[in-house]
Structure 1
Amino acid sequence: MNKKTKALSFGALALCLAMTACSKDAKETQNQPDNATSEQGSKVIEVSTVSPSDPYLKFDPGESFQKNAVYDAYEKDIGVKITNKWIADTSQFKEKVKITIASDDLPDFLLVNATQLKELTEADMILDLTEVYNKHASEETKKFLTMDGGTQMKTAMFGNKLMGIPSSYNPYNYQFLYVRTDWLKKLNLPEPKTMADFMKIAEAFKTQDPGGTGKSYGLAVSKNPFNSDTGVTGLRAFLNGYHAYENIWIDDGRGGLMNSDIQPQVKQALAALQEMFKKGLIDPEFSVKDVEKEAELVYNNSIGMVYGASWTPAQLAKGAVKDGKVVQEWGAFPIPSVDSSPALSQIGLGVDEYYVISKKAKHPEGVIKLLNHWIAVDNHPTEEQKVYEYGKDRVEKGNNYWLLSPLRVGKQMDNNGEVLPKAIANKDSGILETKDQRTRYERAMKYVNGDTTMWWEYLISGPNGAYSLVPSIQKNKQYLQNKFYGAPTPTMADRQEILLKKRDEVFFKIIMNQVSVDEFDKFIEEWKKLGGDAMTKEVNEWYKSKK
């Protein structure tokens, strides 16, 4: 029930893949009488919000956003009645939030992005939450939202005012290299430990065609490889292998920050990609293929190496398991490095959206009650509280009822890598600590016991799965986190999109050998003139103010 796809159940992965397009206003509901009380005997208070209507949320017969078991449970358990000012399809939700803000017609609380948080704060439309949070947030909530040392909460601070509640998720979502281990065995190749190993494997997969398709490449790449967390077709981790990083702010060695996109290590990585392209190790049509189109080459035995997040095996399963049999063997490996220094997996902050409360809200404490209850129920539910996840019958049936909870925050850290591989290897459920671990353990053990549909979970959580690599990464701090956590600066808000578009245009031309790799130097100068210098100045002014 954690927030992101980024968090990584198979259901959450599916959540990212398809959206329908429609929008509808919620029917007005009658207000609860003023003297209504919850089962706990406290007066019922009402809070309004706005909700995305997700295609994977299915209601039980007779239920809807206006009346459902989850809303009823909140009202019964904590005395908070939830209403919706409007409901919109997920594909239109963010646009409708923009309209709601522009028309100054906010519900009591809603989810906004970092730019909107700043705009609403400057427009004096939202409440300073400092007092209501300090007074009404439970000790568990305060501890839960500061597991990362408080960085995520700091991103919602303006001056000394807390202006939003971070819709947090685990920022320690590392990237890995996934390789067809059956092909390594077939061609007598070593596991990839260095970038030299990686290149050797890529060339062997191309020239020796272990899949027998007559059309083989070394690495899967799609048309959006840099500015997204794509699973089987991204290049972010490839850059990291060269100590290069995609659009984050890093130490400049002089006490300030610099943007990673214009550093010399990026040029080295681009030169390597250009060489791979010239050798035919990258699909020549990658620049016009989306993730799924390029992934077909993976599913169909033409590509045997991909970079991706811990959830990538759920995508690989489309080709690895067919007709009840595992037909492709994959292994998860740390990002290979170009030199003797370990590659650092770049990570974000674990927050990009915030729950804000309107200054007009009559019961802001009701929102904090929802926050407290979500954290308690999501992390240690009673049998009765399973209604929040499964609906009134408390039975898993794929309805994704948890999406009805209007305020959801995820855990900023976990110990899945310490616990799950050991539990699965020893068939020891006694050491499991969280609901997520129990769910993953059960799925992995189904695979152990012959259910091949759960192959992907074993590659994520099993003894040699992606999670098994995490403790070492954590212990040795083999990650690099973005050091800028403020709201977008004025230049960033105005020019960032243009800069990223220009970057991708130049990078693609270099990779596809349409221009010399030295075009990167010209790109740096253009980046600076197009707003990069102004953006860097603003970021460093912010950074100085935080010291």
Structure 2
Amino acid sequence: MKKYSSILLTSVAAVVLVGCNNDSGPRESTLDAVGSAAELPERFEEPVQLDLIKHVSGDIFFREGETIQDNVHTDWVKDTFNIDLNYIWTTSGPGETFETKLQLEMTNNQPFPSILALRSGLTQDIIDSGRVIEVGEVFEKYASDTWKQAMADDPHAWDPYTREEGRFAIPILDYEMNGDTVLFIRQDWMDNLGLEAPETLEDIENIMDAFVNGDPTGTGEQVYGVAAGFANQLNTWMSTLDWVFGAYGAMPNQWNLAEDGTLVNGDIQPEMKGALETLNRWMDEKYLHPEAGLWDEGKAAELFTAGRAGIIAGPHWMPDWPLAELHENVDGAEYKAYDIPAGPDGLKGRATGVTSQNGSVMISEDASEDEIQAFFVYQNYLFENYANPEAGGEFEYGFAEGYDYVMEDGEVSYDDDDIPGGGIDPVKYTLTYDGARIPSLYINTLAGFARGEEPTTPFEQKMYLNYPEQAWAGAEIVVDGAEDQVASMFTGAPTDTMVSRGDALDTMLSEGFNKMIYGETSVDQFDSLVEQWKTSGGEEVEKEVNEWYDIVSAN
């Protein structure tokens, strides 16, 4: 499984369809739930049919003769629980295809899902439609201890789905620190030029200057200091510049927790000025490619994997993808993971999500007890048996032999070339996309490998075989640097002013910052840009964000 698939969000969904109504506002739970998870059936005596819809995204593949309606996962669900997965309709192609279809169903007042798993902005609309119940109580009654313990790993997981009346969607947990920034630097260039490991932002500038002006390739080819793309935003998921801002005590493109306990827009804090001045200097010195402001994250990464940039910043898993392409493109190329540097005042900062949840499950007010029991029986089982499997268990090596792994002479292999027909990940067929994940398990496992620990559990052995050593090193860096995290604290639905003016406000700031980086306007204009943002609706956004934060803090 590629960890980047957790970050490249698609609007994949699996849902169980029953009736709906048109009431507005979240509804309280009215279910007569069983007393505890222990009282749920292990397997239903009579078949329970779940009528599903799903978007079959481009990263979902099937064995010949199998479809989303009939595959190794549907067979397993039937054999294990006596649950029939019946897909009413599916979509494919761009993720927007599914959202368009679902919106049309909602607009036309078509039967609404009883159990709906989504990774989509539509989640907030559905909660506010009043068609789903409060699920905090239901989760406490139905969820297994292992699932509850995993949820406790992430104290902010519920925040996006919290209203004054309670919690209206169950977070789908993902691995924590999965997007925290590491620097990957061309080690062969460092060695060729006799450069030492960087500790400060000044060290990074000296390294970039040597790369740009010292001909590290020996070919005379023009190269650049850092591969960055900020067409979308300055603080993004790959080819990011968050670490530059963190070195000055800033963090753009997110809402940060201030010392007084309120949330503040990171874009408008005065600490931004030092980072913008630095990036303007880097552009002048050609440390940045002149088209960096026009590039998205993937395009910027191509500069590094083509061998034309010495540094790239992004998640620890990048050695798996896309940095593996560097070795394919450039003979003898080597890179190494490094920590983010300290700024002029000794500050360090990397953006991180305050929550590791990645999507959610909602329950219709019309859901039957059998349907809800079926979902919890299914998901509890995955948390108990798949999230951290035991030796000798059915998921010891993966989900299904011949799909995501193969056994050869008593040894497991995850290599696509060893699996007849190539590797296929049936976990992507599951109702919550990735089976079940315990947030703290993955990153600490990889960090342990970097410290010399040997794999002992099935989960550890699988991670050991699936991830390169540079990913281990990156994981160790982010775990050891947890104190440098700057959490993105606002995870709620867009506020009223965000909906009406958000795009214009965001564009105002991004265009202003880009002009400063390119030297078209002075960084001295920062304060007037902030004032313009505030008077154009920004102050109202700040008020609304903090009203939301007061609500989630009280729940």
TM-score normalised by length of structure 2: 0.81
Question: For the residues of structure 2 that align with 1:322 and 1:408, how far apart are their CA atoms?
Answer: 31
Question: For the residues of structure 2 that align with 1:492 and 1:94, how far apart are their CA atoms?
Answer: 21
1:371–1:213 Cα change, 3 Å: farther
Residue of structure 2 aligned with 1:350, choices 327, 340, 356: 356
Q: SS of the residue aligned with 1:167?
A: strand
Q: Which residue in the other structure is 1:56 paired with?
A: 59
* One-letter identity of the residue aligned with 1:338: G
1:490–1:49 Cα change, 3 Å: farther
1:170 aligns with 2:175: yes
Q: Which residue in the other structure is 1:509 paired with?
A: 515
1:404 aligns with 2:429: yes
* One-letter identity of the residue aligned with 2:335: W
Q: Which residue in the other structure is 1:337 paired with?
A: 342
Note if contact 1:226-1:235 (Cα within 8 Å) is conserved in structure 2.
no
1:416–1:53 Cα change, 3 Å: closer
Q: Which residue in the other structure is 1:442 paired with?
A: 465
Residue of structure 1 aligned with 2:377, choices 365, 369, 379: 369
Note if contact 1:350-1:412 (Cα within 8 Å) is conserved in structure 2.
no
Q: Which residue in the other structure is 1:35 paired with?
A: none
TM-superposed deviation, 1:374 = 2.7
Note if contact 1:175-1:307 (Cα within 8 Å) is conserved in structure 2.
yes
1:471 aligns with 2:479: yes
Q: Deviations for 1:366-410, whole angstroms, at most 9, x for unmatched residues?
A: 222232123234224465457983377774541221111122465
Question: For the residues of structure 1 that align with 2:383 and 2:439, how far apart are their CA atoms?
Answer: 14
* One-letter identity of the residue aligned with 1:111: A
* One-letter identity of the residue aligned with 1:403: K
Question: For the residues of structure 2 that align with 1:515 and 1:386, how far apart are their CA atoms?
Answer: 58
1:69 aligns with 2:72: yes
Note if contact 1:132-1:364 (Cα within 8 Å) is conserved in structure 2.
no
Q: SS of the residue aligned with 1:253?
A: coil
TM-superposed deviation, 1:210 = 0.7
TM-superposed deviation, 1:191 = 1.0
Q: SS of the residue aligned with 1:142?
A: helix
Residue of structure 2 aligned with 1:78, choices 74, 78, 81: 81
TM-superposed deviation, 1:64 = 1.3
TM-superposed deviation, 1:421 = 5.3
Q: Which residue in the other structure is 2:469 paired with?
A: 458
Q: Deviations for 1:137-170, whole angstroms, at most 9, x for unmatched residues?
A: 212221222212x320243232343311112223
1:166–1:146 Cα change, 3 Å: same
TM-superposed deviation, 1:199 = 0.8
Residue of structure 1 aligned with 2:202, choices 196, 204, 219: 196
Note if contact 1:277-1:511 (Cα within 8 Å) is conserved in structure 2.
yes
* One-letter identity of the residue aligned with 1:335: I
TM-superposed deviation, 1:186 = 1.5
Q: SS of the residue aligned with 1:354?
A: strand
1:219 aligns with 2:226: yes
Residue of structure 2 aligned with 1:413, choices 439, 445, 454: 439
Q: SS of the residue aligned with 2:313?
A: strand
1:473–1:69 Cα change, 3 Å: same
TM-superposed deviation, 1:69 = 2.0
1:143 aligns with 2:166: no
Q: Which residue in the other structure is 2:186 paired with?
A: 180
TM-superposed deviation, 1:230 = 3.6
Q: Which residue in the other structure is 2:541 paired with?
A: 535
1:95–1:390 Cα change, 3 Å: farther
Question: For the residues of structure 2 that align with 1:58 and 1:115, how far apart are their CA atoms?
Answer: 25
Q: SS of the residue aligned with 1:46?
A: strand
Q: Which residue in the other structure is 2:164 paired with?
A: 159
For these two proteins, the number of residue pairs brought into alignment is 502
Using the TM superposition, name which of 299-308 and 346-355 deviates more: 346-355
Q: SS of the residue aligned with 1:313?
A: coil
Question: For the residues of structure 2 that align with 1:159 and 1:79, how far apart are their CA atoms?
Answer: 38
Question: For the residues of structure 2 that align with 1:407 and 1:416, how far apart are their CA atoms?
Answer: 18
TM-superposed deviation, 1:423 = 4.2
Q: Deviations for 1:15-56, whole angstroms, at most 9, x for unmatched residues?
A: 949x9x9xxxx9xxxxxxxxxxx9946222122332121233
Question: For the residues of structure 1 that align with 2:104 and 2:289, how far apart are their CA atoms?
Answer: 42
Indicate the percent of aligned positions where both proteins have the same amino acid: 23
* One-letter identity of the residue aligned with 1:59: F
Question: For the residues of structure 2 that align with 1:387 and 1:56, how far apart are their CA atoms?
Answer: 21
Note if contact 1:115-1:488 (Cα within 8 Å) is conserved in structure 2.
no
1:160–1:534 Cα change, 3 Å: same
Q: Which residue in the other structure is 2:270 paired with?
A: 264
TM-superposed deviation, 1:262 = 0.5
Note if contact 2:386-2:395 (Cα within 8 Å) is conserved in structure 1.
no
* One-letter identity of the residue aligned with 1:193: E
In the TM superposition, 1:480-499 aligns within 5 A as: 480-499=486-505
1:530–1:339 Cα change, 3 Å: same
Q: Unaligned regions of 5+ residues in structure 2, if any? A: 17-40, 407-418
TM-superposed deviation, 1:124 = 1.6
Q: Unaligned regions of 5+ residues in structure 1, if any? A: 27-37, 445-456
Question: For the residues of structure 2 that align with 1:484 and 1:531, how far apart are their CA atoms?
Answer: 17
1:392–1:369 Cα change, 3 Å: farther
Note if contact 1:170-1:413 (Cα within 8 Å) is conserved in structure 2.
yes
Q: SS of the residue aligned with 1:361?
A: coil
Note if contact 1:225-1:234 (Cα within 8 Å) is conserved in structure 2.
no
Question: For the residues of structure 2 that align with 1:537 and 1:84, how far apart are their CA atoms?
Answer: 43
TM-superposed deviation, 1:517 = 1.4
* One-letter identity of the residue aligned with 2:383: I
1:57–1:467 Cα change, 3 Å: same
Q: Which residue in the other structure is 2:300 paired with?
A: 294
Q: SS of the residue aligned with 1:258?
A: strand
Question: For the residues of structure 2 that align with 1:115 and 1:528, how far apart are their CA atoms?
Answer: 25
Note if contact 1:205-1:217 (Cα within 8 Å) is conserved in structure 2.
yes
TM-superposed deviation, 1:192 = 1.1
Q: SS of the residue aligned with 1:226?
A: coil
Using the TM superposition, name which of 305-314 and 350-359 deviates more: 350-359
Question: For the residues of structure 2 that align with 1:332 and 1:292, how far apart are their CA atoms?
Answer: 19
Residue of structure 1 aligned with 2:46, choices 43, 57, 61: 43
Q: SS of the residue aligned with 1:531?
A: helix
Q: Which residue in the other structure is 2:135 paired with?
A: 129
TM-superposed deviation, 1:301 = 2.6
What's the RMSD between the two structures over aligned residues? 3.2
Q: SS of the residue aligned with 2:382?
A: helix
* One-letter identity of the residue aligned with 2:352: I
TM-superposed deviation, 1:216 = 1.6
TM-superposed deviation, 1:536 = 0.4
1:385–1:345 Cα change, 3 Å: same
Q: Which residue in the other structure is 2:104 paired with?
A: 99
TM-score normalised by length of structure 1: 0.82
* One-letter identity of the residue aligned with 2:52: T
